[in-house]
Amino acid sequence: MRPFRHPQYRPLIGAAAFELLGEGVWVIAVVWQVIALGGGPGALSLAVTGYALGMVATVLVGGVAADRVPQRRILMATATTRMVVLAVVAALALAGGLEIWHLTVGGAVLGMAVGFYFPAYSALLPSVVEADDLLAANGVEGFLRPTLQHAGGPALGSLVVATASPAWALLVVAVCQLCCLLTLLLLRPVPLRRDAAALGDHPLRGAIADLRGGLHYMVRTPWFLATLLFACLMLLLVVGPMDVLIPFVVKDGGGDATGHAWILAAYGAGSALASLGMSMLRMPRRYLTVMVLMWGVGCLPFVVVGFTSSVPAIAVALFVVGVLLSAPMVIWGTLLQRRVPPDLLGRASSLDFFVSLLLVPASVALAGPAGELVGVREVFLVASVVPVVVAVLAIVGARMPADEVAHPL
């Protein structure tokens, strides 16, 4: 594909591949490690909440750093941090000394590293790929993310859990991060797309001014703000049920880690096919309307999970969810890289991450108790219906149809 003709893109996407594979293994490892320790939905919510809180806590600082510090340094530092933390957690698990709080604290540190990684990666990509190749490059990343994070990684993780133990799966995640770090060593230093004079003489004052500038851009850009607020509510409703409740739906129906992995693989397959297909198309003329409406409609199949514990039925539903949620992500990534000023891209990406994920810790923390209190069926019914309504409100409220006509891509 066209992005691979850029030499710097190859190690960058290679490192991303190892990072995504590790995240996919982690999803399976942490779920079944909690179950092996005797934990239920509440304990799993606690373990996953640490990861989400870590991301939200650092991503704004990560965005400022991505616009002030060479992004390659940030990527290498985050890969090193994740490798060390995962090695410690895996060692505790293999020695039989791991507890739920270790997973919570370790997950929080991993999430904090991701809070720096994502803005740096997003800001670096336009520096190594030409503008005309960005849609295809985002499509490649969109293909790899579900293929490795939701299919390959969970498949590998479930295999290791089934043949050895969740502790060995945690060790595999650490090895993936080591491979990510080694691949980043092949990436040559890339200069910032920003004038040195704009950084200022005082780092702290300059960083605070940068943060204010990013916030100002967000509130005065209706399409950006409305999309982030929509995503924030959508993820509040769907992330917790998907991460916390689906594994127990599978378990209560007589399934195991393999069934859970099949469901994640179906979601990943739908996401991968949609991302790859979108990368081969032109940007839709009504790109904002198409993007937000697809996200809203993409939540509807979650209703299936509330009415069955059948792994094949849930897998089909999640395949459709993967298609409808991931195709717009290719549009979104390209939209940011094309319409956001280059010197603001790191901060815009971090605000995207921060606002979108702001309520994810609450989602994963509340999903387990909500499922036990009001029922799994009711939780997934809300998660499937409400996002469609909010999507329509976002499109109308931000006047997206008029904006996309005035700013064609």
User: Does residue 283 sit within a domain?
Assistant: yes
User: Does residue 330 sit within a domain?
Assistant: yes
User: Does residue 307 sit within a domain?
Assistant: yes
Give the helix/strand (H/E) hosting 378.
helix 376-397
Task: Report the C-alpha gap between 210 and 219 in whole angstroms.
Answer: 15
| Digitized pLDDT (tens) for each residue of the chain, 409 residues in all | 566 666 677 888 888 889 889 988 988 888 888 888 887 777 777 777 788 788 878 888 887 787 778 888 999 999 999 999 999 999 999 998 888 888 889 989 998 998 888 888 877 887 777 767 776 777 777 777 777 877 788 878 888 988 888 899 999 999 999 999 999 999 888 776 655 545 555 556 666 777 788 788 888 889 999 999 999 999 999 988 888 888 878 877 776 767 877 887 888 788 888 887 887 778 888 989 999 999 999 999 999 888 887 888 899 999 999 999 988 888 888 888 788 887 777 778 778 877 887 887 788 778 878 888 888 888 889 999 999 999 999 999 999 999 888 888 7
- Report whether 18 contacts 176 (CB < 8 A): yes
293-306 tens-digit pLDDT = 999 999 999 998 88
Task: Report the C-alpha gap between 244 and 43 in whole angstroms.
Answer: 10
User: Does residue 190 sit within a domain?
Assistant: no
Q: Write down the pLDDT at residue 297.
A: 93
- Report whether 83 contacts 177 (CB < 8 A): yes
Residue 383, phi then psi, degrees to nearest 5: -65, -25
The pair of three-digit structure tokens given for residue 368, joined into one six-digit string? 């387990």
Owning domain of residue 131: 2-185+204-406
Q: 0.95 exceeded by the pTM?
A: no
User: Does residue 197 sit within a domain?
Assistant: no
User: Does residue 275 sit within a domain?
Assistant: yes
**CATH number for position 239:** 1.20.1250.20
Indicate the SS3 state at residue 97.
Answer: coil
User: Does residue 192 sit within a domain?
Assistant: no
- Domain total in the chain: 1
User: Does residue 199 sit within a domain?
Assistant: no
Task: Report the C-alpha gap between 162 and 283 in whole angstroms.
Answer: 43
